[in-house]
Amino acid sequence: MKKLYIILSFLLSVNFITAQDYNRSLSLQVYSFAIDVNQKQYFMSSILKKEENSEKYSFGLVLSHSWHIPIFYNNKLEIKPGFYFGDFNLMGIELELALRTNIVWRLFSMVGINTHYSFGFGEKSNLSSRGSQGKVYLIPEIFVGLELSKRISFFVGYGLVNDDDWRNSWSLDVMKSTSTLTKEKINGLVKFGFELRY
């Protein structure tokens, strides 16, 4: 009976400590992808008529759950699985691993890698096609954040994405005898997020 009491006391004290540390969290992040667009227009499918380069942005939301595992001093290993909602060609699941460090006062930083799996999406007709491949992106990331309270934090970060062949599209204009080939390349990722620890 005494052993059972000691074991229960230990479990309750561990549960109390982890509850006070708030080592789990829910976060909502806004993603902004920078995309370079290269568009080539051909006459009779072989003669280059026009080429244009432009830049655009794609936005989405990520809902994720995190575990914060203390490892040494003021550092924690953060494991964060999540789901990306937004552009159909980027929609997918991800798993982020990061080292979280308290810098000073309520400021913290995170450095890690995000493994993002895009489901891929495509649409085709006789005169056009557009789509992306289902693939895995390994995205090195760095963040800076501020703890607004013991439970709520705000952070901003940047991810290095370099994919030369993210999304391709093709279309044909029969009346003008022209075809258009568009290639889109992801250059980088900016994140803004809020975190609720519990």
What pLDDT, on a 0 to 100 scale, did the predictor assign at position 21? 63
Neighbours of 25 (CB within 10 A): 20
Question: Which sequence spans correspond to the domains of the chain?
Answer: 22-197
pLDDT tens digits, one per residue of 37-56: 999 999 876 788 889 999 99
Second CATH level (architecture) for the domain 22-197: Beta Barrel (2.40)
User: Average pLDDT by consecutive 10-residue portion of the chain (198 residues)?
Assistant: 47 42 90 91 82 92 95 92 89 96 93 93 82 87 95 96 79 86 89 95
Q: Which residues share a beta bridge with 151? A: none
- Exposed / middle / buried, residue 117 (Cβ in 10 Å: 0-12, 13-18, 19+): middle
Residues in the chain: 198
Helices (H) and strands (E) counted in the chain, each on its own, are 1, 10
* pTM for the structure as a whole: 0.76
